[in-house]
Amino acid sequence: MSNLKYVPVLLHSHSHHSDGHLTPEEVVRNAKDFGYKAMFLTDHNTDAGVDEIFEKNFDKDILPVFHGVEWTTFFGHLLILGTHDAGNYTKATLTNIEDCIDEISAEYPDAVFSINHPFDMGNPICTGCHFEFNIDDYSKFSYLELINGENSENSKSTQLAYRFWEKLLNDGYKLAALGGRDWHVKSKDDDSVPINMLGINGEINEKNILAAIKNANTYLTYGIIFNYNFKNTELGDEISEGDFAGKISIEKSNFKNTNYLNIVPKKIVIFNNEDLVFEKEINFGEDIEFNINPKKGYLRFEVLGDMKDTENIRLVTTSPIFVK
């Protein structure tokens, strides 16, 4: 079994301090009710909602909450997790966002940066929602949102984000598999939701959560719990070329929406870079063993199946294991 404890953490949410419809207390209570174990409140260009949560002890009385903000600019949106102020988003231009990240990282070395909904519609529908910043070094980001928003599993922007992530992995970047719920309003019971599962080493606190993201100890799921046993290896780790064996199983979750989604897993697949190297049918509670010989690059795992009467959905997408 993994030596990490995987827990669901809400990374992208909004209150009425920006464009959300809920109070900070309502966001926190809804997050706990859904089944999250911790969350970040990431209002647009302000940390006023986070301040309210801390002032009223919602983070202690309801659910652990940590510092976050969504920089919302004309050229793209990005989450900044782990800073204790909102920063000066007005400094961001088309060409200097990497300098802005370096400046923030110098003050908050544990901070995490994400590329949000990179292929959403931009102007004039949503100014800045399409990610247009000129980036030379994507290693400054820990992840891009593979899925953004509820009921987005088949959207064009989701498919484009997945392909872009594959390209960046093939280019040698080490980016975690994560998404953004981008929570603005109270959800319906049958909404499909991208859920971030983070492998925590120790207590559930801000430092350990940020470390899990940076280390790519993560997987993205629509509700399936992904269990693995890789000898002395975790998701996000680095291994050498040669024989690699392990065991995988999946189980049902108890998130608030689980019973409404009609999730039916069909198969587990393993990719070595762009090549499919393992494929087998999988059911809840069944142990799947594998033994492969990966080439230099990366390995990653997916569980495919049906959800809400739609076939061949990526029900689980894991962060890579990197092969040197």
Reported as type and span, the H/E element at residue 291 is strand 288-292
- pLDDT tens string 261-317: 999 999 999 999 999 999 999 999 999 999 999 999 999 999 999 999 899 999 999
DSSP labels for 156-196? HHHHHHHHHHHHHHHTT---EEEEE--B-SPPPTT----EE
In terms of residue numbers, what domain contains 30? 5-323
Which is it for strands 38-40 and 65-66: parallel, antiparallel or unpaired?
A: parallel
Give the CATH number, domain containing residue 137: 3.20.20.140
Residue ranges for the chain with pLDDT beneath 50? none
Residue 59, both tokens: 């983070």
| Matching residue, tokens 């762009």 | 274
Q: Which pTM was predicted?
A: 0.97
Q: How many CA atoms lie within 13 A of 267 on its CB side?
A: 9
Instruction: Compute the distance between CA of residue 252 and CA of residue 315 in angstroms, rounded to an integer.
Output: 12
Q: How many structural domains does the chain have?
A: 1
Which residues, other chains included, contact 167 with Cβ-Cβ below 8 Å and sequence gap of 6+? none
Residue 19, both tokens: 């464009």
Which residues, other chains included, contact 220 with Cβ-Cβ below 8 Å and sequence gap of 6+? 146, 147, 177, 178, 179, 194, 195, 196, 197, 316, 317, 318
Sheet bearing 68-73, strands edge to edge: 68-73, 76-81, 112-115, 143-148, 176-180
Q: What does the pLDDT read at residue 309?
A: 86
- pLDDT tens string 174-203: 999 999 999 999 999 999 999 999 999 999
